[in-house]
Amino acid sequence: MEYFIYGIGLIIGGGFFSLMLPEKAKGYAVSLFTGLGAACILSPSINVLLGQSIPSLAVEISYPIGTTNISIDHLSAFFLIIISVMSFIGTIYTIGYMKVYNGKGRTVTSHFFFLSVLIASMPLVVVVQNALAFLIVWEIMSLSSFFLLSFENEKEEVYNAGINYLIAMHIGVLFIITGFVLLSIKSESLDFNSFKDVLNADKWQTNIIFLLLFIGFGTKAGFIPLHTWLPKAYPAAPSHISGLMSGVMINTAIYGILRIITLIKLPSIEIAYFVLIISLISGILGVAYAIAQSDIKKLLAYSSVENIGVIGIGIGVGLLGMAYHKPSLTVLGFSGGMLHILNQSLFKSLLFYSTGVVYLQTHILHMEKLGGLIRPMLFTGICFLVGSLAISGLPPFNGFVSEFLIYWGMLTGLKSGYVLLSVMIVLSFSGLAFIGAMALLCFTKVFSIVFLGSPRSDLHEKPIDVHWTMKAAMGFQILLIFAIGFLPQYIFIGISKAAHGLFGEISPEIFTSYFNTLCDVSRGLAVFMGIFILLFLGRYLLLRKRRVYRYKTWDCGYQAGNTRMQYTGASYVEPFMTLIRPIFKTKIRENKPIGLFPSRSTYESQTDDKFEHAVIHPIIKRIEKFLNAFTWIQSGSTQQYILYGLIFLILITLWIMVV
Amino acid sequence: MIEILINAALLIILPLLFIGLINRVKSLWGGRQGPSIMQPVRDFLKLMKKGEVISTTSSFIFKIAPSITFASIILAGLIVPMAGGRSILSFNADFIFFAYILATGKFFAIIGAMDTGSSFEGMGASREAVFSSLVEPAFFIVIASIGILGNVSTFEGLMRLSGGSGELKMLILMLGAGTLFIMLLVEGCRVPVDDPNTHLELTMIHEVMVLDNSGPDMGIIMYASAMKMIIISSIIANMVIPESMAFGLSLASYLAVLLVLAVIIGTIEAIVARLRMSHVPQFLFYMTAISVIILSIIVLTVSGGMK
């Protein structure tokens, strides 16, 4: 436990130390201290997963927090590992990314300081066991990420996105506070463990508290319809921050939900169905919105919503298992969901990081203006390709393993004998398949438009692969993605330990059978790679002595082709957008070519987020209308304000006299 | 062991013959002499002997894509149950692996097409991705619904329904075979979804995606798409063939079902016109509709509403 405290100290210390350094050295210092701190945090976490006793520490903090327990149980240990490793990778990437901003009079100093604060606050969120202390570190995390996000705050859209994020987070925290207040009133304590009795007392009381907390944490995680801040915040933030936020920070929200589930011993059927249905909706609509986007980071933001949906489907399946007493559903559902948390933080931040490289080199995020980047930027291109394959859940990459576990969990629940359960499982089974197929559409679109074909616009400078630190960070992530993808059985050991608090001990026979199946999967993947290598080798040998020549792409004999005639992202997804037009309103403004000598024609399409317009805006309008009734208080005239002071003084005098 | 060897041999031999058979049936309907059944084999061998032309726009993706796609289809072929209901590789929940490894192949086929920067190929790739996103959910509903009645652990077991009466089993499996037949037409790029004969029309899907491929790459693409048809036909065959049969008899009926399927596909191709592109999704929604019907029948059975 001491190591954990040292780790946090080192990370924060790195932040303070960086204040004193010249701009160039700040990144290295923060990265070095984060690395050391991460190592200190990792050692107790790994020990817990290896089976050592759970370290805990009671810290006395003055009123009103009181005694705060800090403990690293299996769930916390799992999240600590993700947070520390991914934060360290993030800081390495940051060194390279922030280089461009050095010496330009930017607020680099505060940026690095808040980066350290964010990285130090996340491990604290997952270990404190006291509601009030939790809220305090939660708030530190939200605020520091707000400062990081609005780095380029002189741009109007960045400023607005920052404020939007800040407000969304505080609406979310309001629900968390309400939930915690209800719990602590009933239990007369702020300690998480004392909440257990309250959560096991009355079913509907538990349901309501769970709903409140789910809304609170769900706002941070980005479940639909609470996701509206994501597509604004991620494009506005610098890429390393988008990567850290989507890859690491939103995991803490999932941690919150899982922590509540561990406290509820027996979740009701309603909770299980609620989580599963909301997650399915988030998954399907998230990826459908992602398909419609043409800004790479906005697309990744919506796909983040989709991945949260997939994680939620896993958790939902696990909850169904708990509610219906089907251990195989519980084990496989939660394992799949938790593994997807790890996977999503790997591939999502990898995608954001490689997008960051693209942005640094081209200063463009609009994919219709990019193209052919894989030739000048081979390394980044491969990173993005691996990320795309992994996020589409395709073997042999890590995304497949978690989705496989979830699917398999669902299958074991098919013959439950409960009709409702069976139908729900069949529907979510095909829902997950639909999400996967749409993710394939979405990521073939972004990868092929940005990296393949020829450049669609002239760039000022020739794009190249960048600073070694960024390559190192991304390369390390690729290694982890491959490791999980090819050897899923070993990661399953860790995951099944980490989910200990959710489903207890698995019997050795069942564990062995799961382990063996994953070995089979891994063997299948080896066969696949073997066949591929043989085929490719065969092709090479066949063509070695033959004439292979390069010629321009076949264009039906048309001689004046140019790069603007390539398929664009919008045209690539047009058949899909036409299909879902009844559900999504896509605004199309077009100026068709007419007549024999058509003049300039234009086409513009825009898909708005329906939830933002149909759900969030009306609510905000109502609130605004109500608050407008009080605008007369702030009239702007000094006399009136002096009058307020006078009235206040009179009231306080009266109050003192009465008391 | 011998069964596995026979199946492996079938997986290698059947695909090109199947295509030859379809073309032969088509020519008979057209009153033409037509090419021999062996013609696709000759085409394949011819392509394997040639050199290649590679687009200057393309990157390494274009070179590895056909091999990856073919590898994924071979692996799917190893998992799918073939003659005698036996598959070569079999493990828990292997049909999920089956569906996803095929998707990996599809991913590479799509980006391989997009790599050339050709708008024709972009169009084909786009349609391929959209249509497969419509086919996938329906396939998963069928599998999961059948799984409620059957043994859900492996692909082999999935085809053996344990619950329900004889007629009901029959009904479900026939509907399932119908859904998979639509899938066969989509994935095998056959009429009425796609037309394998014309290469350069804006209405094509798979054929237009491989416009820039040539030589050995084109050969393995051809072979791979034929193998994909055999794979899906095998699922259909295993749904139709009764389970308790000696291997020899089962092998014969497997081959007979494949023959019938080739004749049906050839006939459809000879007498039906390709659908308008905007009507293809509607055709694909039949699949979803039938799969939901299967699900409802099974749910009614399980809940005791239908005996």
- pLDDT confidence bin for A210, thresholds 50/70/90: very high
CA distance B246 to B84: 8
- pLDDT confidence bin for B304, thresholds 50/70/90: low
Q: Which two tokens stand for residue B249?
A: 């008899």
CA distance A187 to A183: 6
Contact A610, A224 (CB under 8 A): no
Mean pLDDT of B125-143: 90
pLDDT for position A465:
67
CA distance B109 to B113: 6
pLDDT for position B162:
55
| Optimal mutation site among A335, A378, A531, A580, interface B, most CBs of chain B within 10 A | A531
Sequence-distant (≥ 6) Cβ neighbours of residue B23 within 8 angstroms: B34, B35, B39, B40, B266
pLDDT for position B297:
86
End-to-end CA distance of chain B: 40
pLDDT for position B201:
61
Residue B110 touches partner A, C-beta closer than 8 Å: yes
- SS3 at position A415: coil
Mean pLDDT of A215-238: 91
Q: Which two tokens stand for residue A576?
A: 């899909």
Is pLDDT of A416 > 80? no
Mean pLDDT across chain A? 90
CA distance B223 to B244: 32
pLDDT for position A118:
95
Tracing tokens 């923060």 back to the chain, one arrives at: A30
**pTM of the model as a whole:** 0.93
Mean pLDDT of A599-627: 83
Residue B61 touches partner A, C-beta closer than 8 Å: yes
CA distance A607 to A596: 32
pLDDT for position A594:
85
Give pLDDT tens digits for B16-32.
999 999 999 999 998 98
Please give the single-letter amino acid code of residue A53.
Answer: S
Give pLDDT tens digits for B37-92.
999 999 999 999 999 999 988 999 999 999 999 999 999 999 999 888 888 888 88
Q: How many angstroms separate the CA of residue B28 from the nearest CA in chain A?
A: 32
Residues of B in contact with A400 (CB under 8 A): 100
Sequence-distant (≥ 6) Cβ neighbours of residue B218 within 8 angstroms: B47, B66, B210
Q: Residue A102 carries which DSSP code? A: T
pLDDT for position A189:
86
| Partner-chain residue, chosen from A567, A573, A579, that has the shortest CB–CB distance to B281 | A579
Lowest mean pLDDT among A6-20, A95-109, A137-151, A324-338: A95-109
Residues of B (146-165) whose Cβ lies below 8 Å from A: 147-148, 152-153
Long-range contacts of A487-493 (CB under 8 A, 24+ apart): A487/A522, A488/A401, A488/A404, A488/A518, A488/A521, A488/A522, A489/A515, A489/A516, A489/A518, A489/A519, A489/A522, A491/A339, A491/A342, A491/A401, A492/A335, A492/A339, A492/A405, A492/A518
DSSP string, chain B: -HHHHHHHHHHHHHHHHHHHHHHHHHHHHTT-----TTHHHHHHHHHHTS-EEEETT--HHHHHHHHHHHHHHHHHHHHS--GGG--SS--TTHHHHHHHHHHHHHHHHHHHHHTT--HHHHHHHHHHHHHHHHHHHHHHHHHHHHHHHB--SSHHHHTSB-SS-HHHHHHHHHHHHHHHHHHHHHHTT-TTT--SS-SS-TT-SHHHHTTT--HHHHHHHHHHHHHHHHHHHHHHHHHHS-SS--HHHHHHHHHHHHHHHHHHHHHHHHHSPPPPGGGHHHHHHHHHHHHHHHHHHHHHHHTTS--
Angle between helices B94-114 and B60-79 (to 10 degrees): 160
Q: Which two tokens stand for residue A654?
A: 């009266």
A442: nearest CA in chain B?
A: B129
CA distance A384 to A311: 22
Give pLDDT tens digits for A383-408.
999 999 999 999 889 999 999 999 99
β pairing state of A56-61 and A66-71: antiparallel
pLDDT for position B195:
81
pLDDT for position A647:
94
Give pLDDT tens digits for B174-221.
898 999 999 999 988 888 888 877 666 666 788 888 888 999 999 999
ipTM: 0.94
Residue A565: burial class (beta carbons within 10 Å; 0-12, 13-18, 19+): middle
Give pLDDT tens digits for B241-280.
877 778 889 899 999 999 999 999 999 999 988 888 888 8
Residues of B in contact with A412 (CB under 8 A): 152
CA dihedral B187, B191, B194, B200 (to 10 degrees): 140
| Partner-chain residue, chosen from B55, B133, B200, that has the shortest CB–CB distance to A556 | B200
Mean pLDDT of A417-443: 90
The percent of residues in chain A predicted with pLDDT above 90, rounded, is 57
| Partner-chain residue, chosen from A414, A448, A565, that has the shortest CB–CB distance to B152 | A414
The percent of residues in chain B predicted with pLDDT above 70, rounded, is 94
Residue B285 touches partner A, C-beta closer than 8 Å: no
Round the CA-based radius of gyration of chain B to a whole number and report it.
19
| Partner-chain residue, chosen from B54, B144, B212, that has the shortest CB–CB distance to A430 | B144
CB spacing of A448 vs B58 below 8 angstroms: no
| Partner-chain residue, chosen from A452, A524, A549, that has the shortest CB–CB distance to B114 | A452
Lowest mean pLDDT among A39-43, A583-587, B16-20, B239-243: A583-587
CA distance A203 to A100: 55
Mean pLDDT of B103-111: 94
Instruction: Give the Å distances, CA to CA, from A343 to A86, A251, A422, B174.
Output: 11, 11, 28, 40
